[in-house]
Structure 1
Amino acid sequence: MTASTPQPRANVGNIPAYVPGKPPVPRADFTTYKLSSNENPYPPLSGVVEAAMGVVGQMNRYPDMGCTALYAALAERFDVPVEDLSAATGSVALIYQILQSFCDPGDEVVYAWRSFEAYPIAVTAAAATSVQVPVTATGEHDLGAMAEAITDKTKVVIVCTPNNPTGPAVTQTALLEFLAKVPSRVLVVVDEAYVEFVRMDDAVDGLAVYRDFDNVVVTRTFSKAYGLANFRVGYAVARAPIAGALRAVSLPFGVSGVAQAAAIASLAAEEQLLQRVDSLVGERDRVLAGVRAAGWEIPEPQGNFVWFTLGDRTGDFAAAADEVGIVVRPFAGEGVRASIGEPEANDRLIDLAGSFPH
């Protein structure tokens, strides 16, 4: 018997919903802050608004589908061939393109969990199968267990470093040891959405890894450190055949001209950017010290956020945060991720950590 109305593929009904960070509710008594989406709290970098506005007047024209100027700027900045680049509407779009390009229905995708909540969405949308490997008690990737989880059905492995939402990053040594165990036929995604915030010994050098391994693709974004979350632009670096596959399945004219211009201007303002990132890292260190002094065991944060393991008290913590004018991102039954924001918002988070029972 056939259905009486058009039916989507079966996997579409299994796609979990993406839960965006909730915006704060305006309060008459004091300023409220959004710490739920890992956004950069600073305004645009110098020259970025001007570059974007220069393209706004051309909104009746399609953007450069080939991202020619953006690819040239990225190629120069990171010393990579243009053929090894692929741009998309944020690094999350690149994850979708990777799975669309390399996974047949039923193929397995291995990744840590809890990790970026878009991973199971993208895997299910591609009709592939998620293989989730639990993070350690300290929120780190268990790369040994991930290697053991690879089977003949595995097509893609994703390493999120730093891991969103728990915070820790893997080391270069650990990543290289892991890659030595991964079959060359398996594509390894090194998701470096928060790479600019990493401050640790033996930090991952994704571009060095891409140069040494034919089966590695590095994904990065302008949404976080560069503060272009509203414009949606990210890029992947991989060997030309892989990058070409991503471009082949990309949405035509997906990255707007405004986004391309803003990204190029942001690269040109990188010195100012790094100063801002250093300030955010300083605030992250201050928050970490404050919440640990209050008795919390917080995983080592290497992004622009911290993670509170709360279990069934997650909702209570999020509600208490709302009461003091900060909105955090709860993951029901697991914990809360709080972005590093304005100093006043961070002060409130530290104070909440000191007053909330734990």
Structure 2
Amino acid sequence: MAALPPYRQGRPAPAEGYKLSSNENPFDPLPGVAEAVAATATAINRYPDATALTLREKLGERFGVTPDEVLVGDGSVALLAQFILAAAAPGDEVVYSWRSFEAYPGLVTVSGATSVQIPNRADHGHDLDAMADAITDRTRVVIVCSPNNPTGVTVTADEFEAFMARVPSDLLVLLDEAYVEFVRDAASVDGRTLIGRYPNLVVLRTFSKAYGLAGLRVGYAIGPVAILDAARATAIPLGVTAAAGAAGVASLEPTAETELLARVAEIVERRTRLHTGLVSQGWPVPDAQGNFVWLPTGADTTAVAERLFDAGVVVRAFPPEGIRVSIGEHESVDILLGILGELVPASQEGHPK
């Protein structure tokens, strides 16, 4: 544990700058959601509903499952930790693609298990065939992240179905869909269509990104009751606050969701504009289906990130591989294109001119 790099938040932005390092939703909270949160302030002397039943009921209606087939936690990353702790222990292995969500290695280490990291393909997506090949009798969990954070590439529905056909039915598969609302590629896997098809599959989603509730920490998982019950046993009690539960319920109301979808569409438009502009400049950026784009800057990652910071733009650097740039305010897109246009890689290996 002492040797493991801790998870670090995105770097704060300078005054009048743009924080594009944490994949946050740039829009202010929806009015109805803010009102629902404020209404919980009169009862903060009381513990919240430990099961977030009202929110589970709403989500159950949405996904066509019972409330017992929904597990709510303080962010999808907390749920990932619960499932890994429930399924893996010292001597066991957890397989996932790499690079992917930077919290995965730490979560696996805390459980006592060993990470088995499978390199991404050349297009920065999951190599599901290699991941299936890596499964042994010691494997207890496989994590599939779509769209992949930080590269933005999705797993297709066909790829995932072929992968599940190779996975033992008693091996837990976690489909991490934290950014699924931003996906516009019709070929991409959609966990909603998979519910009930596999006895070993759990789909994880969050209210942090598209719903703009990052500061309240509320995510959810959908899957077989027995698997969810095992994860419930590893949870810290009362992790989901009343404010978080109320915000989740309010976000699912029709009026709020209409506004939410309009905001998501605007973020997708900004993402498309940034991605198209970078490609036209010569950047070898992969497909972008989250609320971010990936810059394969290689050995120059730190230098490029510092250049952007000096211009008032904070991004998430992963030296020596690349930079993740969140989609933020409208004005930030042109600023990014202006700066990055001067740093176009001289080759596909990510060496700026």
Give the TM interval when normalised to the shorter protein: over 0.9
Q: 1:3 maps to what in 2?
A: none
Structure 2 distance, partners of 1:291, 1:122, is 34
Which shifted more, 197-206 or 251-260? 197-206
Q: 2:316 maps to what in 1?
A: 329
Of 157, 165, 171, the match for 1:180: 165
Cα drift, residue 276 of structure 1: 0.7
Q: 2:8 maps to what in 1?
A: 19
Q: 3-state DSSP class of the match of 1:189?
A: strand
Q: 3-state DSSP class of the match of 2:61?
A: helix
Aligned letter for 1:302? Q
User: Contact 1:306–1:338 at 8 Å: present in 2 too?
Assistant: yes
Structure 2 distance, partners of 1:76, 1:185, is 27
User: Contact 1:15–1:125 at 8 Å: present in 2 too?
Assistant: no
Deviation readout 1:62-121 (Å, 9 max, x if unpaired)? 111121111111111221111111111100001100111011212100000000000000
Aligned letter for 1:69? T
Q: 2:114 maps to what in 1?
A: 129
Matching of residues 41-120 of structure 1 within 5 Å: 41-120=26-105
Q: How many residues align?
A: 343
Aligned letter for 2:60? A
Structure 1 distance, partners of 2:103, 2:58, is 28
Structure 1 distance, partners of 2:43, 2:320, is 48
Q: 2:325 maps to what in 1?
A: 338
Q: 1:4 maps to what in 2?
A: none
1:287 aligns with 2:274: yes
TM-score of the aligned structures, taking structure 1 as reference length: 0.94
Cα drift, residue 208 of structure 1: 2.2
Matching of residues 194-343 of structure 1 within 5 Å: 194-268=179-253, 269-343=256-330
1:193 aligns with 2:178: yes
Deviation readout 1:11-30 (Å, 9 max, x if unpaired)? x334331121101121xxxx
Cα drift, residue 40 of structure 1: 0.3
Aligned letter for 1:351? G
Structure 2 distance, partners of 1:332, 1:224, is 24
Cα drift, residue 183 of structure 1: 0.7
Q: 3-state DSSP class of the match of 1:110?
A: strand
Aligned letter for 1:296? W
User: Contact 1:161–1:168 at 8 Å: present in 2 too?
Assistant: yes
Cα RMSD between the aligned structures? Answer: 1.0
Aligned letter for 2:160? L
Structure 1 residue ranges (4+ consecutive) displaced by more than 6 angstroms after TM superposition: none
> Which ranges in structure 2 are unaligned for 5 or more consecutive residues?
346-353
Identity in percent: 50
Cα drift, residue 357 of structure 1: 4.3
Cα drift, residue 45 of structure 1: 1.6
User: Contact 1:52–1:262 at 8 Å: present in 2 too?
Assistant: yes
User: Contact 2:33–2:250 at 8 Å: present in 1 too?
Assistant: yes
TM-score of the aligned structures, taking structure 2 as reference length: 0.95
Cα drift, residue 57 of structure 1: 1.7
Cα drift, residue 259 of structure 1: 0.5
Structure 2 distance, partners of 1:172, 1:166, is 18
Aligned letter for 2:231? L
Cα drift, residue 200 of structure 1: 0.5
Structure 2 distance, partners of 1:299, 1:215, is 31
Of 145, 148, 152, the match for 1:167: 152
Q: Structure 2 vs 1, CA of residues 16 and 323 (structure 1 numbering), >3 Å: closer, same or farther?
A: closer
Structure 2 distance, partners of 1:190, 1:207, is 11
Structure 1 distance, partners of 2:43, 2:126, is 45
Deviation readout 1:175-195 (Å, 9 max, x if unpaired)? 000000001111000000001
User: Contact 1:207–1:237 at 8 Å: present in 2 too?
Assistant: no
Aligned letter for 2:33? V
Q: 2:131 maps to what in 1?
A: 146
Structure 2 distance, partners of 1:137, 1:290, is 21
